[in-house]
Structures are given as structure tokens and as C-alpha cells.
Structure 1
Amino acid sequence: MTEYGRGPGSEPWHPEDPLYGDGGWGGQQGAPGQPPYGGQGQYHPQQPQQAHPQQQPYGEWDEGQQQSYGHQQGYDPLQAQYNGGPQPHEGGWDTGQAGQVPYGSDPADPYGQQPAAYGEERPDFYGTPEAYPPPEPPGRRRPAPEPDHETGWDPGPDQGEHAFFAGGDEDEDAADAGRGSRSERRGRGGKKPRKRRSGCACLVVAAVFAGGIGGVGYFGYQFYQDRFGTAPDYAGDGIDTKATVTIDKGATGGAIGQALKDAGVVKSVDAFVSAQGKNPEGQKIQAGVYTLKKQMSAASALELMLSPKSRNNLIIPEGKRNAWVYEKIDERLELDKGTTKNIARKDWKKLGLPQWAVNNIGSKVKDPLEGFLYPSSYPVAKGQKPEDVLKKMVSQAAEEYDELGVEAKAKELKLKNPFELITVASLVQAEGKTHEDFRKMAEVIYNRLKPGNMETVGFLQFDSTFNYLMGQSEIKISEKEIKTNPDPYNTYKHTGLPPGPIGNPGEVAMKAALNPSKDGWLYFVATDGMNKTEFAKTHAEFLRLKEKFNASTGG
């Protein structure tokens, strides 16, 4: 049997203990083993903690039963709590002291679920200030921690120190804040000891911050120099050492500047780009090979590149034959005469000709690359290989012809293939004296090739084709020569087009071949023997133009 007022293993309560109370009923405490007033016996702790099945509602307990001390009849302690505190009663004001702990319940457990004493409602543990949590016997109480006057909780020996320098973990403190007060955390296992960092940590942190600031300052300076500072540059027109720089077609200012920097001409790419932006002619640098001096200022290098004197490009004029081009390449590359020509004849299929050209180059064609060394400006300098130079020229021609759509146009013009179209353009280029003549010249060719043409019966009769086969550029050719030479390129002897182009046509000649005039022209004569070409539609008109030619040349 457990003594009244004692939990298992606890010490007896002392009468002077402020929590001793009035004894529950009228201030009298039952003697050990004696039931209190009301006749209800004491429960043993081992008994099941449940309410009596015959318990009456609170309202029926008032009649003929002793009223609990400190409560007026019908007084509800829960209602008192919600109404703002203790309520007046017959004996004065409620003292706020809790009544005696119910029989057999554990003082530490306010939810023991024991039935109230006879004639008494269940004590409301939430109705008094000291009852949350419910009071414990002296033997089970722990001394309350002294709160911090500043924060209300004990910060421990590290008070006033920042968590970083004191070894604390701010993340742990933040996480613990959501789990209750610091005193509660100590109640569940005591305060977690803090680690303390020595002064070395401060020195390390300071060193890291100092290094970081220094690094930021350095890179900030570099960024400023790169974006806003003056780009490194040489001064003057350079030294006597020469440098050769190749600039490709369509190269940007940055690419040109990089090529110059790599060759030692300028000190930095940014310096050249800046100089190019300041010069109104800066964007007019052409593709080619330039001979410059080393260690030039960017402005001086740019000015020299804009001058034709510095450019070592090989410029192929419109209408030039391949024989002339081969000789110029040999000269530029300082090779033996005939080197480039021999490579062209031997490796012509490896130099990038369009497939439609390869398929239609017959055995009678004198030079498979004729008509495909496109008139333009090419960088050619010592150290390059002839085949590389030829590939650039052929590639340029193939690109231009593809843009013009020569395959589709050849069919529209009743030609056998695009290779014949290039041949027509080469004839226009060779026979026309001015660009204004080209479309008329193209019409003459197409009209003479028409089946059933009884004026010329399929003969072109062009001096340019005969001069090509002879490797010459004569104006006057004897009738005997023309009639006796059986070469397929002799259009006085053979009808139709020659086996292939007789030169390299330019853009204007190509467009004229694609879009001839439609005026009915069949004849033409260079009446001044040089630059003036006149056209005729009939043989009679042609004879008058021929007389005009003889008169002007003394023939």
C-alpha cells in the first residue's frame, strides 16, 4: 500500500511545504490507510486507471454531498480559466493553490486519468499559475536554471561571443530553437558542450580574406585594362626585318590582327582592331599576301596594308588564258618555268573541278582547267605549293558558277551541258571589246548555233578560237591558214563550239551568256580594229562593216 501523498520511492511531504495545500477536502488530510471524507476508498497504483462506470454527471453531485473547499456550488474551474483567472466564492478569493494530488496518481503525470474524489470534480491543473507543468514532489524536482537577464535563458560560458569564434554552430542553435527553450533542452540531456576555436583560426580567416581581396583587386585591374585600358602597341614604322602575312577572303579585324600579331608585326590584336575602327578605310583590307615590317605600330601596319604596294597578290584579269596564269604562279613561287602547268595537266582531277565538268571534258580539250581559274585576286607567295594555289582558284570558279545556276541554265539555252555554257562565256569574253557588247555577242553565238541557220550554217568563224589553238593573239589571220588547219578549235574549219573554253570568263561575260539579247544579231566586226565592235543581222550589212574595218586599219 502506498502512503497517501507519496509516490513510489518519494519522500513524505513536509507540512511546511507551500505545495502541501489544504488536503483536498476542508483542509483535512486523511491518515495513512484511512479514506478521506466522502467515504470513497483509496485506489492502489496497480489498479486500472479508468473512471467508474456508474459515475454521475457533474450536475447531479450537488445534492446532499459535501462541497469541495474553495469552490462554490456549480463552479466550473475550466470556465474560470477562460474567464481570465480565479473567481470569487463564499470563502473569499481563490488562493490559487492546487488541491491535493488525487489518490494513487503519479504527481508527475497530470493525465493519470484517475476518477475524482466523491463529491469533487476532477482538479483542473491548468487553472493555477504553478500547475503547468503540474508540480512535482520535492524529491523529484530539479533546481530551476537561473535565466539570463538579457535574453531570459542561460547562454552558458560563451555568453557574448560570436558562434563562429566561440566554436558554436549557428545551424544547431537555429534548429534547437524550434524544439523548445534552452532549459528544456538541458532537461532532456544537458547542455551540449561547445567547441572553442583558438586565435589561430582568426589569423587564418584574416589571411584568407586578405588573399581574396588581393585576388579580386588583381583580376579587377586586368578586367579594366582589357576593357578600358590602352592596348599594348609598338611605336613607329617598325624595324628592318620583313614579315609575310596571308589574309584570307572575308577575314575579320580580329583574325587579321591575330595573323599580324603571330607574325610579329603588331604587339596586340586589340591595338590593331582599335586602329582599324578609327580609320575610315579600315574595313577595306583585301585578301592577299602582304609584306610588312616587324614591330610596327598598329596604325602604321593598317596604313601599309591599305596600300597596293604591300600586297603580293596575284591578280587574274578577266579573259586571261591558263598559260598566262601558270607562268605567274611559277614566278611568285620562284619555281622553274612550266612547273605549275605540268602539275595542272597531271593532277587536274584532284584540284576540285565540279563533277559536271569532269564528266564532259573530252580528249580534244587542250587544258581541262581552262575556264576554271576564276578571275580574282589570290594570295600567292614563296613557300606555297602550286597545287594549293590552283585549288583556291578552281574552288572560287566552282562557287561562282554554282551561284549562277549554270546546270539549269544550260538546259534552258538548249546546250548539251554546263561545260558548253562556260565555253560560250569564254568566247563572249574573248570577242567582246566592252561590257556593253557582251549580250549582243552572246546572241550572235546562239543564233549561229541554231539548227537550220542558212546564213552561217553552224560555223562560228571566230578568230579568237584560232588564236587560242595557236597560242597567240593576232588580229589578222590569213585565209589560207584558217582553211588548212584541222585543229578542233578552228571554228572556221569545224562547226559548232570548240571542245572547251578558250580563257577564263569574268562575271559580266558569264551573266551575258546566261541572258543574251534578242535582237537577231548574226555578225560583228571590230571596225576600228581595237575597241569598237559593230553588229549586223544580214550578210550584206556584214560586208559594209568589213569595208569599214579595212579602211580604218589600212587592210
Structure 2
Amino acid sequence: MTEYGRGQGSEPWHPDDPLYGDDGWGGQQAEQGRQSPYGGQPQHYPQQPQAQQYGDWGTAEQNGYGGQQYPQYDQQYAPQHQQQPYDTGGWNTGGHPQDPYAAVPQDPYGQQGGTYGGQHSDYYGTPEAYPPPEPPSRRRAEPEPVTDWDPGPDQGEHAFFAGGGDDDDDGYDDEPGDRRRRGGRGGKEKKRRSGCACLVVALVFGGGIAGVGYFGYQFYQDRFGSAPDFAGDGNGQQVTVTIPEGATGAVIGQELKKAGVVKSVDAFTAAQAGNPQGKSIQHGVYTLEKEMSAASAVELMLSPKSRNNLIIAEGWRNTQIYKAIDARLGVKAGTTAKAAKEDWEKLGLPDWATGHENVKDPLEGFLFPSSYGVSKGQKPEDVLKRMVAQATDVYEKLDVEAKAESLGLKDPWQLVTVASLVQAEGTSHDDFRKMAEVIYNRLKPGNTETNGMLEFDSTYNYVRNQSKIDLTLEELRNYDNPYNTYYYKGLPPGPIGNPGEDAIKGALDPTDDGWYYFISLDGKTSKFTKTNAEHQKLVDKFNASRNN
């Protein structure tokens, strides 16, 4: 049978062959007990067919064993007596000791005639593949040991990661049969360097993983996690928080967080959005507790218990407002009234609101009804200035300055005065518009119903600083004061109270139904008539109800 990678036989040895005429320390010399190759003449081997080669073995240098040769392998391939043919029936060939390497199949990429018909030379099957060693006299110096030899992937991980291999403390290779010194002090120094490098890498990797984990957690918390929040209704420590006008939920949350009431703005805005009444939280001063849950803070701010604002009601006169400010600031009675009388010109009144004669209080009509955050420690003039600014803003928004003339008035000051009368006598927006028409109709020159007289009880009560219902015509028509519209024609010198926005709108948009008279029978609703006769019937009805 033709062997894989072989022809009909090997060529005989040739004088040019490195083994021709030289001695070796294995093969036939070992079997025949011939003279040592180190002391006698070179021996010549008889020409005979080359031994069959099985396996894929090269030289020690080719196989990476550091230049050392292995006699047990050389002897197998040294020129000997004719070996037995390849026995396909088993691993043992010709009675020789079983060689586990002998039965390895031939290289299919060998000489001509191989399985794949390649043209490559088979250097493993020639004598050049296994030259005998040089005699001691002709040997070259052994090369320096290779200290950085990599044991290969089958020897485990590199020492950089596994802590072994090239940098073992014993300085020797782990391969049996190769006991060369591998590292010495240099190896230990490399081990220390490798250990430091490994520590640095571990720290970098650990720091990177920790950073990624932290920012990943923050990202998750920002996107999907619940906002930080306190638990419970507070720690018992009260704090006053002022919420500015027009504040959004985020602004309110910032003020609460700054005061230590809530833990985060997001928690508050979420609680506000989750409460059906949350959007109704108004500006002003609130008394809350520190470290409250956001939900508890929202609930308390919606309760009147938390409101610490000064509430100015529509129609309040300045005398009432001054007393309320004194009480809130905890100052002596009359302090705010004195500041108003002395500093009214510094409080920001518009130009059209100054220079009027016979005005009882220049600030009347400009302490706008609203909710104000007022607490101890503030100055009265600062509180008054905020109220004047609020009134000025509303008047500008409603454009009273431009619309006054179209209503038959001299200036916006008179329009504010009309609005104060509407606020004092009416009870609803519908009342306000009809009441405004009554005023404008009575002010018309030449009207035959009132002959230019307003005759409003509210003007008399204002100048008398009272609020009476049972007033006689005798006292009304005999009291000489510019504000008494029973005594003087036309409007009073100025506003008689502080109208709200709804009353101002009524004064700007009166009805046109011909109303001249009005009366309230129950103090809640008004009845309007166009003639004095109709009006007198309602008056008689009202008096009869009072007598009963």
C-alpha cells in the first residue's frame, strides 16, 4: 500500500547529507555498542532505505523547545535497520515498543502523491530534519535562556492577570525537563511592576464602574424614581413662608424647600398636581412646619389655618385697612394712618391721582383689595406701597385712563370714584353694571329725575365714618360736606372706598336700560326702576317689612 505523502521509497543516504559520515549518540550506535562519537573517527552508515517517518515532528528549534533536542525522538527517526511497514491494523508497528506518535496520520500536504496532490516538500521526512548534535569540541556556546518565553495558551492566563507564568517566585519554567533559570531578580521586579499595574487598572476599572453606576442611578432616579420627600406632617417647628403673586408650582416648591418645609421641588409639584385643589394655592404668607411631606404641605396650604396673609376685602375703606395693618405688624394703633398721611406722595400714585381738592385721603381707592403677605418686622409704608402698586397695575390693565372720557368723565380719577360708589351700593356684577348706569344717568345735565343730584347714602356714611341704614332725609340734606351727595351735586371729591376689579369693570361697561333708581329690600339684591313713582312703591314696601 502506498503511504500518505510518500512515493515507492526513500532515496539512499548521500555524502552531502549532514548525517553522512558523522557519529551520533543514538540509533545504531546505541544498539551495537559502538565507540562513543566523542573519541573516535567519524563513522559511516551504510546506505539503506530511509526510515519511514510518521507524524508531524520537526526539530526542537522548530518546535519551540529552546534549542534542546530529545534523544527519545531522535532515536525513533535515526537510521536503523529497516522498519516494518506501516500497519493499518493497530498502533504497534513491527513488534517495536508502542509509540503513541507513530500512528499519527501522514501530513496530507506532504510530497507529491499525497491526498491533495500538493507540491510542497516534506522536510519532516528527510534527514535534514534531524541533524545530530555537534561534538563537544565543535559545539557553539549555548544561547542565553529566553526569559520572556510565553508558555502558550494551554499554560494558563498571562501572569499580568493570573499572577503566575513568567513572574513566578521560583524563577523556573513549569515545563518538565526544562529547568533553566527564568527570572531571578528581574522577574521579581517585573512581578512587582505587574502587580502595581494590575492594581492601577483595577482601580481605574473600579472607579469607572462606580461612576457609571452612580450616574446610572441618578439617571434612573431623574427619569423613573420618586422624588426625595419627607414623611409625616412636620417636626413641630413652625416657619413662615411668603409666596409671591403669580408663583407657579415650581416657584412655590422652591420657596418651601428653601424654608426647609419640603425636601424637594419635584415632590411638591407632584403632590400639587395629584391634589384636585392643588392649583388653587394662592400667593401670600403661610405658616407651615419644617420637614413636612409634600402632600401634607399642599393640604395645609389649602386650609385657612395656614394662611397668614392680610386679606383686604372689596369696598374696604382706608381707615379699616390702616387698623388691619397695625394689628398685623404689631405696632401702635394709628401708626399706619400716620405714615399714610405723611408719606402718601412717596408711595407710587400715578400722576392722574394727585392734585385733587377736598380729598379726605389721597390713598383712598388705591389700597387695592387682595391678599398680602404681611408679618411683623415690616414697615407700614412698605405694605402701603405694595397695595398702591397693585391698584395701579389693575387700572393700567383695564385702561381706565383712556376710557374715562368716553363715559362723560373728566379723568380716570372720577372713574375710580364711580367704581367705589358701585362697589359700596351693589352686591353682584349684574348690580354693578346697572348701578353704574344709575350714576351716569343722574350725572347728566338737565335730567328731570334727580336734577344732577346723586343722593347716595354711602357718601354720607363715608364722610361720617359709619355704615348706617336708617338715615332720615333731614340729616342727609342738612349735613354740609363735599362728600355728601345729598348736599352737593355731582360726584364726591374722590373715592369712598377701594373697589375690586369686578366693580371697576362694571363702571367701564354700564347697562343702557334707562335706570335711575334702586333699592335693596333684603340687603342682598337690588331692585332697579326708571321713575320716581316706581321707586316710591318699593320704598313703602321696604318700610312696611321693617315695621312688621
TM-score normalised to structure 1 length? 0.60
How far is 1:420 from its partner? 0.2
Q: 1:280 to 1:552 in 2, by over 3 A?
A: closer
Report the CA distance between 1:540 and its aligned residue: 2.8
- In 1: Cα distance, 2:530 partner to 2:253 partner: 58
| Cα RMSD, aligned residues only | 2.6
Q: Match for 1:362 among 351, 356, 375?
A: 356
Partners of 1:525 and 1:545 within 8 A in 2: yes
Aligned twin of 1:319: 315
How far the C-alpha of 1:219 sits from its partner, in A, is 3.1
After the TM superposition, which residues 472-511 of structure 1 pair with which residues of structure 2 at under 5 Å, given as runs? Answer: 472-511=466-505
Distance 2:345 2:279 in 1: 37
Secondary structure, counterpart of 2:471 in structure 1: coil
- What whole-Å deviation, never above 9, does each CA across 1:497-519 have from its counterpart, x for those lacking one? 00000011122221221111112
Cα offset for 1:496?
0.8
Secondary structure class of the residue paired with 2:404: helix
- SS across alignment from 1:292: strand
What is the aligned partner in structure 2 of residue 442 from structure 1?
436
Amino acid at match of 2:247: A
Show the counterpart of 2:163.
none
Deviates more, 1:207-216 or 1:365-374: 207-216
Partner of 1:373: 367
Distance in 2 of aligned mates of 1:438 and 1:251: 31
Please name the residue that 1:272 is paired with: 268
Amino acid across the alignment from 1:440: K
- Given that 1:370 and 1:503 are in contact with CA atoms closer than 8 Å, whether structure 2 keeps it comes out as yes
What is the aligned length? 357
**How far apart, CA to CA, are the structure 2 residues paired with 1:365 and 1:547?**
36
Q: What's 2:394 paired with?
A: 400
Structure 2 residues without counterparts, runs of 5 or longer: 1-149, 151-192
Selected match of 2:527 from 521, 534, 541: 534
Question: Whole-Å Cα distance in 2 between the matches of residues 335 and 219 of structure 1?
Answer: 54
Q: Residues of 1 paired with 2:435 and 2:227: CA distance?
A: 57
Alignment of 1:16-31 (within 5 A): none
Deviation by residue 1:510-533 (Cα, 9 ceiling, x = unmatched): 12211111122222233x263343
- Report the alpha carbon displacement of residue 331 of structure 1 after superposing the two structures with TM: 1.3
Match of 1:287 among 280, 283, 288: 283
* Structure 2 equivalent of residue 525 of structure 1: 519
Partner in structure 2 of residue 457 of structure 1: 451
Contact between 1:272 and 1:299, CA under 8 Å: does it hold in 2?
yes
Instruction: Give 1:457 deviation, angstroms.
Output: 1.9
TM-score normalised by the chain length of structure 2: 0.61
Residues in 1 aligned to 2:300 and 2:357: alpha-carbon distance in whole angstroms: 48
Deviations 1:30-58 (A, max 9, x none): xxxxxxxxxxxxxxxxxxxxxxxxxxxxx
Q: Which amino acid in 2 is paired with 1:242?
A: Q
Q: In the alignment, what sits opposite 1:389?
A: 383
CA displacement at 1:211 relative to structure 2: 4.1
Tell me the amino acid that sits aligned with residue 343 of structure 2.
D
Identity over aligned pairs, percent: 65
Give the C-alpha shift of residue 469 in structure 1: 0.2
Cα displacement (A) at 1:209: 5.7
Structure 1 residues 233 and 422: alpha-carbon distance in aligned structure 2, compared to 1, 3 A threshold: same
1:202-254 per-position Cα deviation (integer Å, ceiling 9, x unaligned) = 97677556544543433333333343333332221112211111112221222
Deviation at 1:312, TM superposition (A): 1.5
Residues 255-264 or 271-280, more deviating: 271-280
Contact 1:529 1:552 (8 Å CA) reproduced: no
Offset from partner CA, 1:170-222 (integer Å, 9 cap, x none)? xxxxxxxxxxxxxxxxxxxxxxxxxxxx9788976775565445434333333
Equivalent pair of 1:529/1:553 in contact (CA under 8 Å): no
The within-5 A match list for 1:1-150 is none
The answer as to 2:543 corresponding to 1:554 is no
